[in-house]
């Protein structure tokens, strides 16, 4: 619907009365002054007929009396007033009218979809930067409107927003939002029940920096969409932008952008000659974008088709007249020679940008340089080509080099084939979307694992074990140099603020946990590490999510017992999504996660471990073969037998998949081995604490390690299991 309050079709006392029936339209009750009604109707009619000055006169007077005035099928007076100012080119008054209406509606507890959309699209980049919270709130209110009945015009409006979002949405989320194929007309889209709620939940899950108040990724998306609508506009497409806009929304600004030109004097000298009709207008306007910082496979070529740019392949840069008709005739050889010259020029410009084009350029260049038209004095050669070319063809046969027509046809087929393979690699390996949120700050890579335990109150305690990657603490040489120029002392001391946000099942923040860590005597070498740190968060039930942020600073000055933070030098983030609280009903056998514990070979002190907090957890995904790994876990809700003891069995299986050399590597590269063990235990309590050790001493290669632990209650027959995985690196020791 055009406007509403918390999903209900209600009205202000000063606004028009609406019946509650489905599909009802506004009536003109006696309680509404005729002057206001006539002013609104006359103002809307004036806008629709192009009488914008008259519309402004009527609607300004109306807004002065009733700034929230609205009619269900035609929306708010503020919206139409803004439209009139927009047609008059008065941007300031346009935004003023829309903002006034939004404030009035918000105070009254109402929402108008068209007014919100119009105001949001009118914001400049500077305005969005000044009021990021307002921008996000308005956009999310639009998405929430998907859960309400919509008029046909509003369906088309929302289809545009969802189409722009679909560019980055995972397929499974998109399937939960759209009920029909998005290729249909915009006003025929149908959205699934709860589509708005699902999109709001997804955006909450995308917040890259949980320690901040804003969702930086959402703001970035809105900036990219606005930029795409302005610079890559294509009204014929539902998104409002062409293929360049789609890529820009997904990845942002490319790290390299060029237009492949065809103005080189050498190319002109070879191609634009009598015999084959080729002109500069036959070469399409184009642009090449590379995203080498995102993925090696992420590069795109676009060519202009009439009024917009589309995805293209290399062959689309070649004039159509030069893509066929190769033969041994003079004209056929002329075509082949000129096509080879064009392809050589294309690859010459692309080869420095991506290795995919290096071999192609080398092959075309090597062949082209032996053709008469490419030799020194090539203008003279072309004037004699009637006599030279047949001899050249014969010579090619003798030396097993293909004739120009054969080579041209072959290289075109290869070009298409390799472009298809490049497209396949991009689809397989490049991410659906990428963010620049961390571009301005050095990234702090952090290794993290979580383990769930059951507290006495029946709620789940989640222990978060983390440590920065080896050598990651110290800023880069470039950053250290810049900080020293700014007068900061970059020594061996750093401060890390860790923020963990506990979120509900629908990604709504529930509890924020923060802790500050002081790191001293950090070595300067690349192997610098810090002791593994642990943060404990409590009180979770049901399904929940965790979001992490690490902000690394230089230490600042002290004020009494407090230390002020210096400049931020690095930043890291991570998530632990879709965690499920442990069962606390007392009847169901339950088990904690496996807590990996670090210890060196020969250290047997953990065999009598009573308090897991006394041992150092191991959060890393990789483990060296000379490290002895222990796994600690707890078992809950064991049942007493006839002897008043709980009897349970612990079984664990180690599956090893080692990388091998030689023939085995060629055939698949891995050799699998499995070992298993079974231990029976008894306890006088309903909770048991266990520690098991894994021996990697016979590990001979690199590979994957999977540990599966299964606990069975011998009294009830219930069982539960947990799994951990590592990548093992052989140390050769």
DSSP tag of 373: G
Distance from CA of residue 198 to its chain's centroid?
Answer: 17
User: Across residues 552-578, what is the average pLDDT?
Assistant: 86
**What pLDDT was estimated at residue 361?**
94
Is the pLDDT score of 389 beyond 50? no
* pLDDT band at residue 261 under the 50/70/90 scheme: very high
| Domain 3-211 and domain 441-584 have a common topology | no
Q: 478 burial class (0-12, 13-18, 19+ CB within 10 angstroms)?
A: exposed
Is the pLDDT score of 529 beyond 80? no
**What pLDDT was estimated at residue 683?**
95
Using a pLDDT cut of 90, give the percent of the chain over it. 64
Instruction: Please indicate whether residue 371 or residue 662 has the higher confidence score (pLDDT).
Output: 371
CATH class of 585-733: mainly beta
The label of the residue with tokens 């914008």 reads 52
**Where are the domains positioned within the chain?**
3-211, 256-429, 441-584, 585-733
Distance from CA of residue 487 to its chain's centroid?
Answer: 37
Distance from CA of residue 295 to its chain's centroid?
Answer: 13
**What pLDDT was estimated at residue 526?**
60
**What pLDDT was estimated at residue 187?**
75
Q: 729 burial class (0-12, 13-18, 19+ CB within 10 angstroms)?
A: middle
Is the pLDDT score of 591 beyond 60? yes
d(CA 379, CA 369): 14
d(CA 45, CA 25): 18
Contact 225, 165 (CB under 8 A): no
Is the pLDDT score of 395 beyond 90? no
**What pLDDT was estimated at residue 635?**
97
3-state SS, residue 203: helix
Model confidence pLDDT, tens digit, residues 621-658:
988 877 778 899 999 999 999 999 999 999 999 888 87
Instruction: Report the b/e string of 694-703 with b at 16+ CB within 10 A.
Output: bebeebebeb
Contact 357, 350 (CB under 8 A): yes
d(CA 730, CA 646): 41
pTM: 0.85
**What pLDDT was estimated at residue 180?**
81
d(CA 490, CA 457): 46
Model confidence pLDDT, tens digit, residues 67-85:
999 987 788 999 999 999 9
Closest to 325 measured CA to CA, from 258, 394, 278, 381: 278
The label of the residue with tokens 């230490």 reads 555
User: Across residues 21-43, what is the average pLDDT?
Assistant: 63
Indicate the pairing of strand 562-580 with strand 543-559: antiparallel
Model confidence pLDDT, tens digit, residues 659-707:
655 433 434 445 567 888 899 999 999 999 999 887 777 777 788 889 9
Q: Residue 605 CB: number of other CB atoms within 10 A?
A: 10
Residue 129 zone, left/alpha/beta (φ > 0; ψ -120 to 50; rest):
alpha
**What pLDDT was estimated at residue 558?**
67
* pLDDT band at residue 376 under the 50/70/90 scheme: low
The domain over range 3-211 is classified in CATH as 1.10.10.10: no
The label of the residue with tokens 């590490």 reads 529
Instruction: Please indicate whether residue 455 or residue 600 has the higher confidence score (pLDDT).
Output: 455
Contact 61, 43 (CB under 8 A): no
Lowest-pLDDT choice from 252-256, 327-331, 408-412: 327-331
The label of the residue with tokens 């952008």 reads 257
d(CA 166, CA 181): 12
* pLDDT band at residue 41 under the 50/70/90 scheme: very high
Contact 635, 711 (CB under 8 A): yes
Structure tokens at 25: 């339209």
* pLDDT band at residue 600 under the 50/70/90 scheme: low
Closest to 112 measured CA to CA, from 100, 96, 123, 128: 100
Instruction: Please indicate whether residue 253 or residue 150 has the higher confidence score (pLDDT).
Output: 253
Lowest-pLDDT choice from 73-87, 174-188, 307-321: 174-188
Distances (CA, A) of 195 to 8, 115, 189, 201: 18, 21, 12, 10
Is the pLDDT score of 601 beyond 90? no
User: Across residues 206-229, what is the average pLDDT?
Assistant: 95
Domain 441-584: which topology? Immunoglobulin-like (2.60.40)
* pLDDT band at residue 556 under the 50/70/90 scheme: confident
Contact 516, 495 (CB under 8 A): yes
Mean pLDDT of the chain: 86
d(CA 628, CA 173): 42
User: Across residues 478-499, what is the average pLDDT?
Assistant: 91
Q: Residue 127 CB: number of other CB atoms within 10 A?
A: 13
Closest to 336 measured CA to CA, from 327, 347, 346, 349: 327
Structure tokens at 416: 């298409």
User: Across residues 159-182, what is the average pLDDT?
Assistant: 92
Closest to 300 measured CA to CA, from 284, 308, 312: 312
CA angle centred on 684, ends 683 and 690, rounded to 5°: 30
């Amino acid at each position: 619907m055009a406007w509403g309050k918390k999903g209900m079709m209600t009205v202000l006392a000063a606004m028009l009365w609406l019946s509650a029936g489905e599909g009802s339209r506004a009536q003109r009750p006696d309680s509404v002054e005729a002057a206001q009604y006539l002013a609104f109707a006359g103002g809307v009619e004036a806008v629709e007929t192009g009488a914008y000055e008259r519309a402004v006169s009527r609607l300004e007077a109306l807004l002065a009396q009733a700034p929230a005035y609205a009619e269900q099928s035609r929306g708010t007076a503020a919206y139409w007033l803004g439209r009139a100012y927009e047609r008059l080119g008065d941007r300031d008054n346009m935004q003023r009218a829309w903002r006034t209406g939004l404030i009035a509606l918000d105070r009254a507890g109402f929402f108008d979809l068209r007014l919100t959309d119009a105001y949001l699209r009118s914001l400049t980049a500077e305005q969005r930067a000044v009021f990021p919270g307002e921008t996000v709130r308005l956009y999310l209110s639009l998405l929430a409107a998907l859960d309400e009945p919509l008029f046909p015009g509003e369906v088309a409006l929302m289809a545009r927003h969802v189409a722009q979002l679909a560019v980055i949405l995972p397929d499974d989320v998109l399937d939960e939002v759209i009920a029909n194929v998005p290729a249909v007309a915009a006003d025929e889209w149908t959205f699934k029940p709860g589509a708005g709620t699902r999109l709001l939940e997804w955006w909450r899950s995308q917040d890259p920096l949980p320690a901040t108040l804003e969702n930086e990724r959402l703001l970035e998306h809105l900036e990219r969409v606005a930029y795409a609508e302005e610079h890559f506009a294509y009204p014929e497409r539902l998104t409002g932008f062409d293929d360049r806009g789609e890529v820009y929304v997904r990845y942002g600004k490319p790290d390299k952008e060029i237009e492949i030109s065809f103005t080189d004097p050498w190319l002109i000298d070879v191609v634009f000659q009598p015999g084959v009709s080729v002109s500069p207008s036959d070469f399409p306007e184009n642009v090449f974008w590379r995203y080498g910082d995102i993925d090696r496979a992420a590069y795109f070529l676009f060519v202009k088709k009439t009024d917009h740019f589309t995805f293209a392949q290399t062959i689309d840069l070649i004039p159509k007249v030069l893509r066929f008709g190769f033969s041994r005739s003079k004209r056929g050889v002329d075509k082949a020679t000129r096509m080879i010259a064009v392809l050589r020029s294309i690859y010459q410009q692309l080869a420095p940008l991506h290795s995919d084009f290096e071999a192609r350029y080398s092959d075309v260049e090597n062949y082209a340089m032996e053709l008469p038209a490419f030799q020194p004095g090539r203008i003279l050669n072309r004037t004699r080509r009637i006599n030279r070319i047949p001899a050249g063809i014969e010579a090619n046969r003798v030396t097993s080099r293909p004739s120009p027509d054969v080579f041209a046809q072959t290289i075109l087929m290869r070009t298409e084939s390799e472009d298809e393979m490049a497209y396949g690699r991009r689809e397989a390996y490049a991410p659906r979307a990428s963010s620049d949120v961390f571009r301005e700050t050095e990234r702090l890579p952090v290794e993290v694992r979580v383990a769930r335990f059951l507290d006495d109150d029946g709620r789940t305690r989640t222990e978060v074990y983390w440590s920065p990657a080896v050598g990651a603490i110290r800023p880069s040489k470039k950053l250290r140099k810049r900080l020293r120029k700014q007068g900061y002392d970059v020594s061996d001391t750093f401060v890390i603020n860790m923020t963990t946000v506990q979120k509900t099942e629908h990604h709504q923040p529930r509890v924020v946990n923060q802790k500050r860590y002081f790191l001293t005597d950090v070595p300067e070498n690349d192997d610098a590490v810090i002791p593994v740190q642990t943060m404990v968060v409590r009180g979770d039930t049901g399904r929940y999510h965790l979001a992490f942020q690490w902000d690394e600073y230089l230490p600042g000055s002290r004020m009494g017992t407090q230390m002020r933070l210096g400049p931020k030098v690095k930043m890291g983030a991570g998530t632990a999504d879709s965690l499920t609280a442990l069962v606390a009903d007392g009847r169901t056998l339950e088990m904690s996660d496996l807590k990996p514990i670090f210890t060196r070979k020969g250290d047997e002190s953990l065999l009598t471990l009573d308090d897991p907090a006394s041992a150092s957890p191991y959060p890393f995904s990789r483990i060296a073969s000379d490290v002895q790994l222990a796994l600690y876990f707890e078992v809950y809700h064991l049942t007493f037998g006839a002897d008043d003891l709980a009897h349970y069995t612990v079984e664990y299986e180690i599956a090893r998949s080692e990388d091998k050399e030689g023939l085995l590597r060629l055939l698949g590269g891995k050799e699998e081995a499995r070992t298993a063990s079974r231990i029976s235990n008894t306890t006088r309590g309903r909770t048991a604490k266990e520690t098991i050790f894994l021996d990697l001493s016979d590990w001979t290669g690199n590979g994957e390690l999977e540990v599966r632990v299964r606990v069975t209650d011998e009294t009830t027959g219930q069982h539960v299991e947990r799994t951990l995985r590592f990548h093992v690196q052989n140390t050769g020791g």
